[in-house]
Amino acid sequence: MMTTANDVNLNTFLHVCGFRLEDRETILRIAPIILPHLGRVTDRFYDLLLQDERIAEYLEGRIDLLKKTHLGWLESLFSGDYGADFIQRQEKIGEVHVNVRVPPLFVAASMSFLRAELSSVISQYILDREEAGQSTRALLGLLDLCQYLIDRKYNETLMNNLGISQTLLVRLQTTGKKRAAS
């Protein structure tokens, strides 16, 4: 599971977000039921993205490639691997999005879409109410975790590009106030 010994902020996030070992088991258990629907979720996701002029601009000329990339990411959430590699993969997304100038707004909106879509797939295909509740909780927690890791790295990369370290950023944000987390 998570290797977070030196990552105080991630530990705080996980403590409150509550994504735990039992959730990994839940996700592995529902994976065979959910995986067949992810292609359809991705198609709907892209239909929606393409309807927005500002987002569509970023997709031009590479829709098929991006669809494949994003579907691959969605499927990887069901692999049960939430260790160091998982963290690194999410962080890489934050970094790549800075390089291709995809703002966090787009990721936040996408995550919101996915939360609603995946909850709806669960309620349609997992009929046991307790299992559906547990699955929804686990999957939403996992999406929140991904978004935190992506956004955190996004900000870190932006600031690094300006030569501003995380320590300096926290100092800037908290001068005259009690020191906060980054």
Partner 1 sequence: MREEMIKSVLSDLNSGSADIEASAVISLDGLTMASMLQANMDEDRVGAMAAAMLSLGDRTAIELARGALDQVMIKGSNGYVLLIHAGSEAVLSVIVRDKAKLGLIFLDATRAANAIANLL
Cβ proximity to partner 1, 116 vs 162, nearer residue = 162
Residue 68 interacting partner from ligand HEM, partner 1, none (CB closer than 5 to 8 Å by kind): none
44 binds ligand HEM (CB under 6 A): no
Q: Which of these segments, 13-21, 66-74, 129-137, 172-180, binds ligand HEM (CB under 6 A)?
A: 66-74
Residue (of 71, 87, 77) closest to 26 by Cα position = 77
Q: Which does 125 bind (CB under 5 to 8 A by kind): partner 1, ligand HEM, none?
A: none
CA 150 vs. chain centroid, Å, equals 6
55 binds, among ligand HEM, partner 1, none (CB under 5 to 8 A by kind): ligand HEM
Least distance to ligand HEM from the beta carbon of 37, Å?
16
Q: How many CB atoms lie within 10 A of CB 118?
A: 22
Shortest spacing between CB 30 and ligand HEM, in angstroms: 19
The CB-of-176 to partner 1 minimum distance in angstroms stands at 6
Task: Tell me how far CA of residue 86 lies from CA of 2, 73, 93, in angstroms.
Answer: 9, 10, 11
Kindly list the residues in this chain that would bind partner 1 in the complex (CB under 8 A): 161-165, 167-168, 171-172, 175-176
Nearest alpha carbon to residue 27 among 181, 141, 105, 117: 141
Binding flag, residue 148, ligand HEM (CB under 6 A) = no
152 near ligand HEM, rule: CB under 6 A: no
Instruction: Choose, by CB under 6 A, the member of 1, 102, 159, 164 that binds ligand HEM.
Output: 102
C-alpha separations of 180 from 8, 74, 160, 168, 172 in Å: 12, 32, 19, 12, 11
Distance between CA atoms of 178 and 103, rounded to whole angstroms?
29
**Contacts of 49 by beta carbon, 8 Å cutoff, 6+ apart:** 55, 56, 59, 110
